[in-house]
Amino acid sequence: GAGVSQSPRYKVAKRGQDVALRCDPISGHVSLFWYQQALGQGPEFLTYFQNEAQLDKSGLPSDRFFAERPEGSVSTLKIQRTQQEDSAVYLCASSLVGRDTEAFFGQGTRLTVV
């Protein structure tokens, strides 16, 4: 498809388990963003890539969170030793470079840690 694709759509993890969330951005989009959205809240910024370079990771809540985009297209958000407070929807967005271009969002991955 032509939009941002995220997989899996739903993930249930046992506390302590590692998870990997995948994002396929729109082809040709240089910028890629990850957000975390808790129930009833707005999306919270996690990290930002421009091509393969991770330019901002200041929103990652702990060192258990790690994101990569090795070839400047597909990105993976990895959460190690998941905890219940990690339960949220993880949104990926991509855009052309520049401040005045809108970001297109995927449908998100709903992570539930039990």
CB of 80 to other proteins, least distance (A): 24
Where do we find the tokens 């855009």?
A: 95
Those residues whose C-beta lies under 8 Å from the C-beta of residue 37, and which sit 6 or more positions away, are 43, 44, 88, 89, 90, 91, 108
Please tell me whether the peptide bond between 8 and the residue prior to it is cis, using omega within 30 degrees of 0: yes
In whole angstroms, give the CA distance from residue 1 to residue 3: 6
Is 55 a binding residue for other proteins by CB under 8 A? The answer is yes
In whole angstroms, give the CA distance from residue 32 to residue 94: 4
Is 48 a binding residue for other proteins by CB under 8 A? The answer is yes
Is 41 a binding residue for other proteins by CB under 8 A? The answer is yes
Q: Which of 23, 79, 91, 113 binds other proteins (CB under 8 A)?
A: 91
- How many residues bind other proteins (CB under 8 A)? The answer is 26
- Tell how strand 65-68 and strand 75-79 pair up: antiparallel
Is 30 a binding residue for other proteins by CB under 8 A? The answer is no
Q: Which stretch binds other proteins (CB under 8 A): 13-21, 42-50, 64-72, 80-88?
A: 42-50
For other proteins, give the closer residue by CB, 66 or 105. Answer: 105
- Give residues in contact with other proteins (CB under 8 A): 31, 33, 35, 41-45, 48, 50, 55-56, 59, 89, 91, 93, 99-100, 102-108, 110
